Structure 1
Amino acid sequence: MKLHLHKSEQQYQINGVDSQAITINQQPYTQSLIISDDALTTDWFSGAWETLDAQALAAILAFKPEVVLLGSGDKQRFVHPKHLQAFQAAHIAVECMTTAAACRTFNILTAESRKVVAALLLEKHLTP
């Protein structure tokens, strides 16, 4: 099987993730963040998953995504449906998954040139 080097036009790529850091472009980040293929917000949210609300999620809308991936840490957690009304009104798909799964899915979707945004929480932020 031939393997070809894929050179991406993306400005931001996720290289790794664990419960303490998300590595983007070889730089580790130790806080929750929002990432798209061409933008990175590192001062997004610092609370526990249970305190994530519509106001915190509204920052994601500024990226004008088609798909939003919500990484909830080491365990899959879901956002209350009432907090997703703005996304539904804008016809934006929202998927909740572990942060590691969200990172993998982000890389796949951006490689397909999809307009995806990942809002990623680290496990250390999930305990009050």
Structure 2
Amino acid sequence: MKFHADKPDSLSITALGEGWVAINGERHENSLVLTSAGQVQPWDCAAFEALTASHFERLIGAMPEPPELVIFGSGKRLRFAQPALMRTLIERRIGVETMDTAAACRTFNILVAEGRRVVSALIIGD
């Protein structure tokens, strides 16, 4: 599936396939964190079952300012992490939206184009 960015000068997800995602044309095959501030970072969570609270806690510092929203891409299918894992985000009033990774990719592009302060944590290939 190919995506087309409205703002080509910003970070965007340009394609998605089985076990990979392309960020500004560069292919990634491991889970990652994207920020609307333009950072792409590896996310050391290879599978949904491996999620811990520290995976979500690290998202707060992914940008210079805390995000207003975290988009969590749970893999090939929609799965919800236990609320206790996201406690730190909830306590700081950072919104969390969970969706499958393909939907999370589309949503990230839309929110970045709107100028929102957003972090997307994507599980790839699970």
* Same fold per superposition (TM over 0.5): yes
**1:71 Cα deviation (Å)?**
0.4
* Separation (CA, whole Å) in 2 of partners of 1:6 and 1:118: 18
In structure 2, the partner of 1:41 is 41
Matched, 1:56 2:55: yes
Give the alignment's Cα RMSD to 1 decimal: 1.6
Gaps of 5+ in 1: none
Matched ranges for 1:1-128 at <5 A: 6-10=6-10, 12-37=11-36, 38-42=38-42, 44-62=43-61, 63=63, 64-123=66-125, 126=126
Percentage of matched positions with identical amino acids: 36
User: 1:65 Cα shift?
Assistant: 0.7
TM-score (norm 2): 0.87
Structure 2 runs not aligned, ≥5 long: none
TM-score between both structures, scaled by the size of structure 1? 0.85
In structure 2, relative to structure 1, the CA distance for the partners of 1:7 and 1:85 (3 Å cut) is closer
1:18-65 deviations in Å (ceiling 9; x for gaps): 2311100100001000001211102x2243201201111111110311
CA contact (8 A) 1:19 1:73 kept: no
Provide the C-alpha distance between the structure 1 equivalents of 2:30 and 2:67, rounded to a whole number of angstroms.
22
Native 8 Å contact 2:46 2:124 kept in 1: no
Which structure has the larger Rg over C-alpha atoms?
A: 1
Aligned residues: 118
